[in-house]
Amino acid sequence: MADEPLELGEISFSDWHAHTDKLAEVGFLTIARRLPSLVSQAMRMAWRASPRDTVATIVLNLLGGVFTAFGLLATTGVLTALFSEGPTPDRVVAALPSLALVGAAAALRTVTQAGAGWAQSRLDPQVTRLTEERLYGLTSQVDLVSYDDPEFHDSLQRARLRGVAMADSVVTSAIDVVTAAVGIAAVAGVLSVLHPVLLPLLLLAVLPDAWAMVRSAKMRYATLYALIPANRRKWIIAELLADRDPAAEVRSFTMRGFLLRMYDAVAKAEQDVMLGLARRQTVAGLVGEALGGLGAGLVYVALGVLLAIAAIPLAVAGTAVLAIRSAQNSLANLMYATNRLYEEGLYFTDFLHFCADAETRLPSSRPIPMPDRFDRITAEAITFTYPGADHPALREVSLRIDHGDVIAFVGENGSGKTTLAKILSGLYQPDSGTIRWDDTDLAHVDPDHLRLRTAVIAQDHTRWPLTARYNITMGTDKGEAALHAAATVAGADEVIADLPHGYRTLLDRRFKDGHELSGGQWQRIAVARGFHRDAALLICDEPTAALDARAEHALFQRIRDHSDGRTVLLITHRLASVRYADRIYVLDHGKITEQGDHDTLMAHGGLYADLYTLQATAYR
């Protein structure tokens, strides 16, 4: 059994390797063609983050290139003076003015590079903040139904996990590309000024190195792509060995040795592949170095020929050597920055595509004001289908809710109860049909205005990593009296009384001095949250799912007391709690099949009567 392979099944690619296949297939020319677009996108993002720091970074890098060129030209003057005839002291003295210019150019280049680095270091956090605000501003505003769309969710995951993380790196890489290109352009300009034939020599010297760098990068991308399954498998085994959840069973079933053997097998296979990559990269580097040496030899031969025929003076030849060396350094920086920019640009493009798609999903402007209260809510012929679903979740649903009523939705799982409640609370927009508060059609009202007048107590409520106070008030400030009243009605005051810091207790054990609640305690906090809203419509969706029988009975009694003069919509499978509702709607496969009060529905003998009798029988 020790040699039996671990069957992990098909696992999708990690979002961190989503584009590795593209990187393994492209050539440098493809990257070069996309480069201007990527640089343009990065510069636009940088400009929106901070125009001042963007301008400073670019201008200072350009000035650095100018000072590089000036220093090389001044070097010609130094060499000319030193190579001239005459006594050595006289030649040194003659070289001093040019030498001073070389020193000044070097000092100025150092200052401008330091300034550019400072401006760029200021730019990076501003770009990160801008992209994060844009992403989360959109994710918190798109229609809720977008999160039920698998394509939207996948796009969000790619944008969130790596797209945002790449934003500042894309800007940095774009600036590095521009800086390196400016350095090469400065050297090319100097060589053109010194002698036109020197420019082709520059290409001869740098092209072999460029080939070796591109070749090595492609090898690495292809290898990483091939290793993705092994990396996934190793990561899964590592989680089993180091995560808290499986820790008990790893020990109970003595799986340590088995998992370590599997981990070692995968790790060794990965190691062998990486060692092979290192060997091939070394060979490519040696070939590049050999070709580079050959190119350099040809350059020196060409310079020797030019000197022999007196086409250029010795000082110019010396400057050309220094310039070519400088260009080779700039080329190395350019190739590295270009590869990084292309890779990061693919993930950054995911972020841009997500933002463009999310903007099409934002609610449209709706100018009609929302009434503060209602006498009657009516829903007529509501139909709703989830993205990608084959059948509607609701079909031609119509109902009415009068002010002050306690309304109950009843039905089996998947009947559409929660979906209908989300439509009534403005979280989903129906595909067809109308919902009105009196004469106001909610299709023409800002959904946020509707949500401000609706409170929802959900079964799958969020356990906010905030203080107990904020878990109830949700950032609103209605005063201490409203806070304590809501907590008392929900029974949450008993929970908070046992907390070490009362309402100031942080409800998350992951943080220092944080405190964790039980499921039932969290349920009471969530109920208090709904009561604190004091909204015109209170929707309770399985509010007692985590409570014991005594707490459930007490909570329903509180809800009935709290509903005096308020409108309550109750969704629950525990039918003994809805028998006192003013009207009960029974849903079955997205349709309302029965409605009436408890006695009427029991006399009807339909689905409600069957479900109620089934539950009641279990307690006899």
Which tokens hold the place of 176?
A: 């590095």
Which tokens hold the place of 440?
A: 């106001």
Q: What is the pLDDT of residue 63?
A: 86
List, for residues 52-111, the tens digit of each pLDDT value. 998 998 888 888 878 877 777 777 776 666 666 667 677 677 777 877 887 888 888 889
Mean pLDDT of 372-379: 88
Q: Which residues contact 404 (CB under 8 A, 6 or more apart)?
A: 563, 565, 566, 567
Least confident of 128-137, 198-207, 402-411, 433-442: 198-207
Confidence of residue 3 (pLDDT cuts 50, 70, 90): low
Mean pLDDT of 338-366: 80
Q: What is the pLDDT of residue 237?
A: 83
More confident residue, 606 or 312: 606
Answer yes or no: are the C-beta atoms of 328 and 174 closer than 8 Å: no
Superfamily of domain covering 403-418+448-618: P-loop containing nucleotide triphosphate hydrolases (3.40.50.300)
For the chain, which residues make up each domain, given as ranges? 15-360, 403-418+448-618
List, for residues 223-258, the tens digit of each pLDDT value. 766 676 677 678 778 888 888 778 888 888 888 888
What are the C-alpha distances in Å from 302 to residues 115, 192, 297, 426?
39, 16, 9, 78
List, for residues 430-476, the tens digit of each pLDDT value. 999 999 998 888 888 888 888 888 888 887 788 888 888 999 988 78
- CATH 1.10.3720.10 applies to domain 15-360: no
Confidence of residue 585 (pLDDT cuts 50, 70, 90): very high
**Closest residue by Cα to residue 499 from 474, 524, 527, 468:** 468
Answer yes or no: are the C-beta atoms of 541 and 418 closer than 8 Å: yes
How far separated are the first and last CA of the chain, in Å rounded? 53
Mean pLDDT of 389-408: 89
User: Do 15-360 and 403-418+448-618 show the same overall fold?
Assistant: no
Distance CA 378, CA 395 (A): 16
Q: Render 425-452 in DSSP notation, one character per residue.
A: TTSS--SEEEEEETTEEGGGB-HHHHHH
Task: Calculate Rg over the CA atoms of the chain.
Answer: 36
Which tokens hold the place of 474?
A: 């949700």
**Closest residue by Cα to residue 399 from 613, 569, 169:** 569
